[in-house]
Structure 1
Amino acid sequence: MILAAGRGMRMRPLTDTTPKPLLQLRGKPLMQWSLEALARGGFDRLVINTAWLGEQIGERFADWPQQHPGADLRFSHEGQDFGYALETAGGISRALPLLGEVFWVLAGDVYAPDFLFSRESVERFVASDRLAHLWLVPNPPHNPRGDFGITADGLALNQAEQKYTYSTIGLYHRALFEQPWCDVVPGNPQGTAVPLAPLLRKAMDAGLVSAELYTGPWTDVGTPERLAELQVD
């Protein structure tokens, strides 16, 4: 699942007329870098959630299955259904009927061109008893305090002396979005907006979230300045 429902306020005025995932980065829409990386890993069943100017995203990638035979691309149009974005956990819950028991989640505004979406990672996760596996990155200047820690044996920590930044890339089990971790009815028919971090922190405290550090190229393309820097990098 690729998250693409945000308003992109920090990207204004660029996002006043274009959703952030469609902003051009080195000749292609920002989100297309993630779509192509998933395709290289053999993951061709894709779900994209939308809200702000979401019809543009649906139109831009409507022919993705034709361009990539075997691909199955579906949309969860939160803006059309409710008139607003459901935040990360709320959006994932809304899309659960389109997702399997285990699925990737990543943000459509993150640039990580060398990240390897591998079947081996999925198999290891499925064989574990974890509810989520997160890829963390060294803290960028805009998030110096980080988000989560990692133990020596690969457990994610809610509280830690050394914290890293959540890359937005993770593997998830649908059980994290059901009781007792999430109070929203799967499918989120009421359109409840729910953030992801509280669910993750609750599961971390129960020892049910693992993590690893990713040190390859990675940028949260959250401002016009970061986008401009990547264009000439």
Structure 2
Amino acid sequence: MKAMILAAGKGERLRPLTLHTPKPLVRAGGVPLIEYHIRALVEAGFDELVINHAWLGEQIEAHLGDGSALVARIHYSPEGEPLETGGGIFKALPLLGDEPFVVVNGDIWTDFDFRALSAQLPGAGLAHLVLVDNPAHHPQGDFMLRDGAVVDAVGEGALTYSGIAVLNPRLFDGCQPGAFKLAPLLRQAMAAGRVTGEHYRGRWVDVGTHERLAEVERIIEAGR
């Protein structure tokens, strides 16, 4: 199974850090955020990776190269203009192949063990989502998890989509090139009962602000 790291965002809330550095190369604990994902994916057996990029993407390619320094094989999917999550993944499908693949947002930090995903998406499943407890900045959550199925509902017991998933390329059947969001495709698949999920209770931070970047720094320092 291949994996894709989504790295095309501009990280505007992390300015001025991201004025001259792409968000995935912003450092936490002295290490670029994207390297935590690459190391964790490689350790879990996902050594063929696809990375999309837009804002200052040439810096990402220059820093990571072909991935050999991290014992990975990296392919790039450059975007002239950001294509949003759905459009970015769709553009990269020729690099990902016909089998289900892991996708992870480049702007999160987590100790999630990606080995848990290697056996997901059996049968007719179109997506398997990793959900987490709702962070303070997103208290309402995104979806409900019921008997292993993800449903499009919020309320008591709702959880937040972590930005980690296994996707079947067939999820994108009928899509056209261009910018579009992933969420509507997921909701359509949920309505058909073809999305499974799991609740991860470990450490996870959406590194979208300076305050949350500082939170990651504290976690890393405490673990040393």
Q: TM-score, normalised on structure 2?
A: 0.92
- Is 1:198 matched with 2:171? no
Instruction: Tell me whether 7-16 or 84-93 shows the greater mean CA deviation.
Output: 7-16
Report the equivalent of 2:137: 142
Report the equivalent of 2:78: 77
- Matched to 1:172, the amino acid is L
Q: Measured at CA, do residues 39 and 206 of structure 1 come closer, stay the same or move farther in structure 2, by a change above 3 Å?
A: same
CA distance in 2 between partners of 1:140 and 1:14 (Å) = 23
Match of 2:25 among 22, 27, 33: 22
Equivalent runs, 1:98-117 vs 2, <5 Å = 98-100=95-97, 101-112=99-110, 114-117=111-114
SS at match of 1:95: helix
Match of 1:95 among 86, 92, 97: 92
Report the equivalent of 1:33: 36
SS at match of 1:15: coil
CA distance in 1 between partners of 2:36 and 2:127 (Å) = 23
Report the equivalent of 2:149: 155
* Contact 2:14–2:209 under 8 Å retained in 1: yes
CA drift of 1:230 comes to 1.8
CA distance in 1 between partners of 2:15 and 2:129 (Å) = 29
- Is 1:54 matched with 2:57? yes
Report the equivalent of 2:201: 215
Match of 2:45 among 42, 47, 53: 42
- Matched to 1:34, the amino acid is H
SS at match of 2:203: coil
- Matched to 1:122, the amino acid is S
SS at match of 1:58: helix
* Contact 1:10–1:222 under 8 Å retained in 2: yes
SS at match of 1:130: coil
CA distance in 1 between partners of 2:92 and 2:204 (Å) = 26
Report the equivalent of 1:123: 119
Q: Measured at CA, do residues 142 and 97 of structure 1 come closer, stay the same or move farther in structure 2, by a change above 3 Å?
A: same
* Contact 2:120–2:166 under 8 Å retained in 1: no
CA distance in 2 between partners of 1:102 and 1:63 (Å) = 23
* Contact 1:33–1:111 under 8 Å retained in 2: yes
Cα offsets for 1:90-133 (capped at 9, x unmatched): 00000000003210000111101x21111x633242x2321000
Cα offsets for 1:35-62 (capped at 9, x unmatched): 0110010110100000001001010100
Q: Give percent identity, aligned residues only.
A: 50
Report the equivalent of 2:15: 12
CA drift of 1:72 comes to 1.7
- Matched to 2:48, the amino acid is R
* Contact 2:66–2:74 under 8 Å retained in 1: no
CA distance in 2 between partners of 1:63 and 1:210 (Å) = 33
Aligned residues: 214
* Contact 1:25–1:230 under 8 Å retained in 2: yes
Structure 1 unaligned blocks of 5 or more: none
Structure 2 unaligned blocks of 5 or more: 220-224
* Contact 1:3–1:107 under 8 Å retained in 2: yes
* Contact 1:14–1:224 under 8 Å retained in 2: no
